[in-house]
A and B are shown apart, each in its own frame.
Chain A
């Protein structure tokens, strides 16, 4: 019996195996005759096979690892900066002027704030991506400053008490969301870039 295709499953394939047109075509062609379990087994196995092939190719040519290792290092450094530099900045603000600081004491706003930080970071990251070609020093300063500011804001401005974030792990996770947005934004290409 021929079943109706689920657009989501089909739409997902090019994102998973974008450069492997024959495999995607085979899955699209064969799936109507098979079960959903067959389809997902095939997808998971093909992803694992692809990851294995990529890893072994990277081991044969170590220079391929440079980009991935660099991105991971930047991600970790910025996340560290969000938490540590943000906390230091927060401490400095408290020492300078404790009374006039506007603080919002609504822990339920945490998720909203964290989610909002992602598109904000994406825009900043995109601007940084364009700036990168002109000035590397400016790129480093803006990236570091924005990460530290977000750290200070998450620790300080949104809370009247020190326990706005229940744990350091959650503070780190919130910071990582912002850093992730920065990295995605900086690596995304604008339509103007594509035309060039």
Chain B
């Protein structure tokens, strides 16, 4: 979910827009601490890379940390999609619209 959110946000992917993106799609409150913990883990696994931006006044002069999905991350997203689709198909209760 985090990888997809980073991909959807694009160039401006830092904590706030990533959290907003997940909130918009999942309709739930997202904890910024959890976003950074998850992104840190993905970065340790080489699925995302990060860079520090310049400080901005609305952040009290603090810099943003931008995230970008690496080629390995993109591959992982595609694999996850394939696996998810395989699991999804063939379940009678999930096919054909509303339950």
Contact = CB atoms under 8 A, between A and B. Distances in A.
Interface of A: 10, 20-30, 38, 41-42, 45-50, 53
A35 B37 CA distance: 23
Interface residues of B, number: 21
Given A21-B62, A24-B62, A49 B33 contact: yes
Given A25-B15, A25-B60, A25-B64, 18 more contacts: A10-B60, A20-B36, A22-B14, A22-B64, A23-B36, A25-B55, A25-B63, A27-B32, A29-B56, A29-B58, A30-B19, A41-B29, A42-B33, A45-B33, A46-B33, A46-B36, A48-B33, A53-B37
22 contacts: A21-B65, A22-B14, A22-B15, A23-B32, A24-B60, A25-B15, A25-B62, A26-B14, A26-B15, A26-B59, A27-B32, A28-B58, A29-B16, A42-B32, A45-B34, A46-B36, A48-B33, A49-B31, A49-B33, A49-B37, A50-B33, A53-B37
A38 B30 CA distance: 10
Contacts, number: 68
B29 A38 contact: yes
A20 to B, nearest CB: 7
Nearest to B20: A30
Contacts of B63: 21-22, 25
Contacts of A49: 31, 33-34, 36-37
B61 to A, nearest CB: 8
Contact of B59 (A28, A45, A53): A28
A30 B15 CA distance: 10
A37 to B, nearest CB: 10
A49 B38 CA distance: 11
Contacts of A48: 33
